[in-house]
């Protein structure tokens, strides 16, 4: 028996060393980096204070930390009682016994490599205040950001052009690459349960979204006598998220640190202070709208809050928000769309208390492209919102 045990131990150690060599591709994986301590649970709120994480729909994901208020504390908070799986913080989402949904989304440190196998892992704990439990919590990986303004199941909405200016939207359920087994209902309210799995990447996947992508009828909803039924659905805490490439150990490691500095987001940061000169124009690289609409998506809020911080640090600065579109559509249509999108950004800043005298907006339609409209990449660059310093 000695030899088999020795071989088993060697294999275990080898596996542990292999895992250590593979870096976690998730920024802020246990939600320890944040801009401010959480203060309240808002049914219509937006997740903006956790570095590198945001909500892709109108469903209001929540943040908890030991430094939080009574509503948002750890272990006890408004929606349950739970210690962090690791560290001081975690997030929470409805994965629901109804079709109400909340999701968490982040951008990975690097795009996934085609043909490589990745192991995905995160931990969940059911709030004892829930009115039921589900099984089908999973992780979806996409090349582009996915999102919607709804508070229901996140759907894959593909827009097809039937004719010039005529579009049709076809909606279908997303298929997460990693999902908890349907027969394994996630019922633990005392501890944490690991959801994990492996998949082979198609290549270029940059965004990960965590939640329940299935309708209630396909989620294996189970009611438990141990639950208090204070909440209208199945509410889960989420912690310790990991995405590791199983075959990339010999590659150059992803640059550290594992988490982002407090003031840095997943994408490019806003300009340095010494570049904020009168006449300078900067692209807001993380501003997102619904297709052909001027409704700001929640993914935009981190970037807008950084712009808000710049305006706060420079109380005499005045700026112009400038909207641009790609080359599709008529001049008049794109002019209106660009103006409305610029106005949406100004309205957000006004809602946060910025003096109206410091803000103005203008739309340029498709008249000022910065790339070719012949490719999707070029059109994406042309669809942009900028701010210009007009007084300092």
Residue 387 has pLDDT above 70, yes or no: yes
pTM: 0.69
Band (pLDDT 50/70/90 cuts) for residue 319 is: very high
pLDDT at 43: 87
Instruction: Report which of residues 253 and 165 the model is more confident about.
Output: 165
Choose the weakest-confidence range: 13-22, 207-216, 266-275. 13-22
Choose the weakest-confidence range: 41-45, 164-168, 323-327. 164-168
Residue 286 has pLDDT above 80, yes or no: no
Other beta carbons within 10 angstroms of residue 34's beta carbon come to: 20
Strand-pair partners of 289? 296
pLDDT at 255: 44
Choose the weakest-confidence range: 184-193, 198-207, 210-219, 298-307. 298-307
pLDDT at 380: 83
Mean pLDDT of 47-76: 93
pLDDT at 370: 92
- Asked whether the beta carbons of 68 and 203 are under 8 A apart, the reply is no
Band (pLDDT 50/70/90 cuts) for residue 339 is: very high
pLDDT at 165: 67
State whether the Cα torsion 179-94-219-89 is positive or negative: positive
Mean pLDDT of 209-216: 97
pLDDT at 80: 96
Q: What is the percentage of the chain residues whose pLDDT exceeds 90?
A: 64
- Asked whether the beta carbons of 1 and 33 are under 8 A apart, the reply is no
Band (pLDDT 50/70/90 cuts) for residue 233 is: very high
Mean pLDDT of 348-353: 90
Q: What angle do CA 60, 64, 65 make, to 5 degrees?
A: 155
196 vs 122: CA distance, rounded Å: 7
Band (pLDDT 50/70/90 cuts) for residue 145 is: confident
140 vs 159: CA distance, rounded Å: 20
Band (pLDDT 50/70/90 cuts) for residue 260 is: very low
- Asked whether the beta carbons of 208 and 73 are under 8 A apart, the reply is no
177 vs 200: CA distance, rounded Å: 9
Residue 163 has pLDDT above 80, yes or no: no
Backbone φ and ψ for 200, nearest 5 degrees, come out as -100, 125
Residue 254 has pLDDT above 70, yes or no: no
Of residues 240, 228, 241, 239, the one with CA closest to residue 127? 228
Instruction: Report which of residues 307 and 159 the model is more confident about.
Output: 307
Mean pLDDT, all residues of the chain:
86
Residue 268 has pLDDT above 60, yes or no: no
pLDDT at 305: 83
pLDDT at 298: 66
pLDDT at 276: 85
Domains and CATH numbers, the chain: 21-245 (2.60.120.260), 273-391 (3.30.1330.60)
Tokens of 174: 């997303």
Residue 111 has pLDDT above 80, yes or no: yes
Choose the weakest-confidence range: 48-57, 208-217, 223-232, 339-348. 48-57
Residue 274 has pLDDT above 90, yes or no: no
Band (pLDDT 50/70/90 cuts) for residue 359 is: very high
């Amino acid at each position: 028996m000695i030899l088999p045990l020795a071989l088993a131990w060697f294999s275990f150690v080898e596996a542990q060393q292999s895992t250590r060599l593979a870096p976690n591709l998730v920024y802020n994986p246990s939600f320890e980096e944040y801009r401010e301590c959480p203060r309240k649970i808002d049914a219509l709120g937006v997740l903006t204070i956790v570095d590198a994480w945001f909500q892709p729909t109108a469903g209001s994901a929540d943040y908890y930390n030991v430094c939080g208020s009574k509503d948002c504390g750890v272990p006890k908070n408004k929606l349950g009682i739970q210690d962090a799986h690791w560290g001081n913080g975690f997030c929470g989402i409805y994965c629901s016994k109804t079709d109400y949904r909340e999701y968490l989304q982040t951008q990975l440190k690097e795009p996934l490599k085609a043909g490589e196998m990745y192991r995905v892992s995160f931990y969940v704990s059911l709030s004892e205040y829930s009115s039921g439990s589900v099984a089908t919590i999973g992780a979806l990986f996409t090349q582009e950001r996915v999102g919607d303004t709804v508070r229901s199941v996140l759907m894959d909405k593909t827009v097809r052009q039937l004719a010039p200016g005529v579009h049709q939207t076809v909606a279908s359920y997303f298929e997460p690459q990693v999902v908890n087994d349907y027969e394994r209902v996630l019922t633990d309210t005392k501890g944490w349960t690991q959801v994990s799995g492996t998949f082979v990447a198609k290549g270029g996947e940059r965004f990960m979204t965590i939640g329940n992508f299935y309708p209630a009828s396909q989620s294996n909803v189970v009611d438990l006598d141990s639950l208090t039924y204070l909440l209208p659905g199945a509410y889960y805490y989420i912690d310790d998220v990991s995405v590791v490439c199983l075959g990339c150990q010999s590659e150059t490691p992803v640059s550290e640190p594992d988490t982002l500095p407090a003031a840095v987001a997943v994408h490019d940061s806003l300009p340095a202070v010494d570049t904020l000169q009168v006449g300078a124009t900067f692209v807001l690289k993380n501003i997102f709208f619904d297709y052909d609409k001027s409704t700001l998506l929640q993914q935009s809020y981190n970037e807008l809050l950084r712009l808000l911080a710049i305006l706060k640090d420079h109380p005499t600065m005045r700026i112009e928000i400038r909207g641009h579109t790609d080359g599709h559509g008529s001049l008049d249509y794109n002019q209106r769309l660009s103006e409305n999108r610029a106005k949406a950004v100004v309205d957000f800043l006004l809602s946060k208390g910025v003096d109206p005298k410091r803000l103005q907006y203008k739309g340029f339609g498709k008249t000022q492209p910065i790339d070719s409209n012949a490719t999707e990449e070029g059109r994406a660059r042309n669809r942009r919102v900028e701010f210009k310093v007009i007084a300092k």
